[in-house]
Chain A
């Protein structure tokens, strides 16, 4: 459904844009309907930049992004508008996604413009169905201001808004990092339920245990390049790249202590076109060749 092919992003920085900063380099992966793909990386790995490029908020420097066969990396206004009927994003901070002056359910009313022929009754039914799908009670969240709702409720309301549009792909950029432990799992489970209805999700996170819990496939990013990608069970069950191994062993676990023998840092790889040389080590498990011992 969504397919990235050799996508790169170069930012011009410095006083007159004289310096170039390569945020993303040669990234390729796919998201199928009904699949959750997690994009995992540390700060500065380019994971959010990829999300923004998929949403058309940031231009692609090189490569193509296709959605259902159509190139969406350089869409113009009216075609972009149609694209947003299929693809929507939800971001990290639920409190700043809302205008505090208006009631929270205004985000739902604003998308009514997509449905010119729908009458009031029919619209209310649609809203109720969408709220039901994200397990929100219409009575407790309609007509309230953002400060009267919890972070989890606000975040679910944004997902409901995306569902109203009957989208095919949701870009979820760190949507639960700001939520409390007792409520974040509910939002994750919600993504799991929506996946069963055929929604594709690009789940961007820095938290490995969350990515592991919800996703079918995982992409590990470092410095804008893919180090390891494939089925989540394979990437986490049998990490091959030294960087992935270091990440997996650094995650604080609840019942096992850190392994003192595990490496704590990984030397930076030499500048290379490593991303172009992903090697398939087993079905649905790709590793950057430069990082694997005995690799080319």
Chain B
């Protein structure tokens, strides 16, 4: 197992109390697995991703253990995490188009990044050029300022820079959301290629777009209101989901070929609960058409069959 997360719980401090962004997340990622992490805005998917690299100082790590390649990640400790960041765990951030320092040339950003980790820029430079060419960029981008690059070019540059030291785990946070369909496809296929070439051992791809995950991910983990709802192979999540939330979400997505005049799709009524004081029991209960008395108790995240886990009383029964 590449990554093992056990009962991870992360809150944010706020004036009105703790925002319970991630509550008791337990899952594992195999070597070479691309796991998609999906959910609506505010479901905690970005928080879960960022907590694995501890990017945000406002995060309060409540409990839980994270193991990467059999070694515990000190995710509660900013200073100790420095030894792992970039080298073992890396991130392509949500706004990677603005992740490059505007007043530095791309090459200077790369040099400073590498030197801060004690690596010599000149040793890595040939590999950097090779990888830039692989993603369809010429090595000239190193002599350019970020403003001279288009959105898609910046996205690919950041992808190459963050995976330069062949990290064991890459967290890609909404990296396709701001792109046009044709660049979306190019970036999605690059992620798969990075895994195939061994630049990255395993990956967490965070997005709200299930269709793109179906194209590139091996497994998909669906979150709802800070809790894990369902994890299964991508084919199963799309073709035979068991959690009522996943089912409703999949059936509400329009596809090319589905038309209003012929098939009227339906949304999910209601909205997710506030994470300041989430309800006890199943958090999807108020919007769920299958809810019954037992849903007042919290459903465990259990394995229905190998590789398919669900947190729902009805699905487990």
| A interface list, Cβ under 8 A from B | 42-43, 150, 180-186, 188-189, 192, 206, 208-210, 212-214, 232-233, 236, 246-248, 250-255, 257-258, 264-265
Distance from A217 Cβ to chain B, minimum over Cβ atoms (Å): 13
- On whether the beta carbons of A253 and B260 are closer than 8 Å, the reply is no
- On whether the beta carbons of B249 and A208 are closer than 8 Å, the reply is no
Size category of the binding interface on chain B: 35 or more
> With the chains together, A217 CA to B45 CA distance in Å?
37
- On whether the beta carbons of A182 and B268 are closer than 8 Å, the reply is yes
Q: Which of B55-63, B77-85, B197-205, B211-219 lies at the binding interface? A: B211-219
- On whether the beta carbons of A184 and B256 are closer than 8 Å, the reply is no
> With the chains together, A232 CA to B262 CA distance in Å?
13
Partner of A210, one of B186, B189, B249, B254: B254
> With the chains together, A4 CA to B12 CA distance in Å?
51
- On whether the beta carbons of A208 and B181 are closer than 8 Å, the reply is yes
Beta-carbon contacts of B199-242 to A below 8 Å, as 1s and 0s? 00000000011111011000000000000000000000011000
Query: Hey, which chain B residues are within 8 Å of A183, CB to CB?
Result: 267-268, 271
> With the chains together, A185 CA to B250 CA distance in Å?
12
Interface residues of B in 239-279 (CB under 8 A from A): 239, 248-250, 252-260, 264-268, 271
Distance from A203 Cβ to chain B, minimum over Cβ atoms (Å): 11
Query: Hey, which chain B residues are within 8 Å of A257, CB to CB?
Result: 214-215
- On whether the beta carbons of A251 and B256 are closer than 8 Å, the reply is yes
- On whether the beta carbons of A212 and B254 are closer than 8 Å, the reply is yes
- On whether the beta carbons of B264 and A189 are closer than 8 Å, the reply is yes
A185-B265, A208-B256, A212-B259 as given contacts; A252 in contact with B182, CB under 8 Å: no
Closest to A258 in B: B215
Query: Hey, which chain B residues are within 8 Å of A185, CB to CB?
Result: 252-254, 265-267
- On whether the beta carbons of B260 and A180 are closer than 8 Å, the reply is no
Query: Hey, which chain A residues are within 8 Å of B258, CB to CB?
Result: 209, 212-213
- Could you pull out 30 A-B pairs where Cβ atoms are within 8 angstroms? A180-B40, A181-B40, A181-B249, A181-B252, A182-B40, A182-B248, A182-B268, A185-B253, A185-B265, A188-B254, A189-B265, A208-B181, A213-B254, A213-B260, A214-B260, A233-B259, A250-B182, A250-B184, A250-B185, A251-B211, A252-B184, A252-B212, A253-B214, A253-B256, A254-B211, A254-B214, A255-B214, A257-B215, A264-B186, A265-B182
B300 at the interface (CB under 8 A from A): no
The 4 closest A-B CB pairs, nearest first, are A42-B180, A252-B211, A213-B254, A182-B268
B188 at the interface (CB under 8 A from A): yes
B101 at the interface (CB under 8 A from A): no
Interface residues of B in 35-54 (CB under 8 A from A): 40-41
- On whether the beta carbons of A252 and B209 are closer than 8 Å, the reply is yes
Distance from B58 Cβ to chain A, minimum over Cβ atoms (Å): 20
- On whether the beta carbons of B265 and A264 are closer than 8 Å, the reply is no
- Further contacts, 11 of them, CB under 8 A, given A180-B208, A252-B185, A254-B214: A182-B252, A182-B267, A185-B265, A189-B265, A189-B266, A206-B181, A209-B258, A236-B256, A252-B211, A258-B189, A265-B182
Distance from B185 Cβ to chain A, minimum over Cβ atoms (Å): 4
- On whether the beta carbons of B188 and A252 are closer than 8 Å, the reply is yes
Closest to B271 in A: A150
> With the chains together, A43 CA to B253 CA distance in Å?
23
- On whether the beta carbons of A212 and B249 are closer than 8 Å, the reply is no
Query: Hey, which chain B residues are within 8 Å of A258, CB to CB?
Result: 185, 189, 215
- On whether the beta carbons of A213 and B259 are closer than 8 Å, the reply is yes
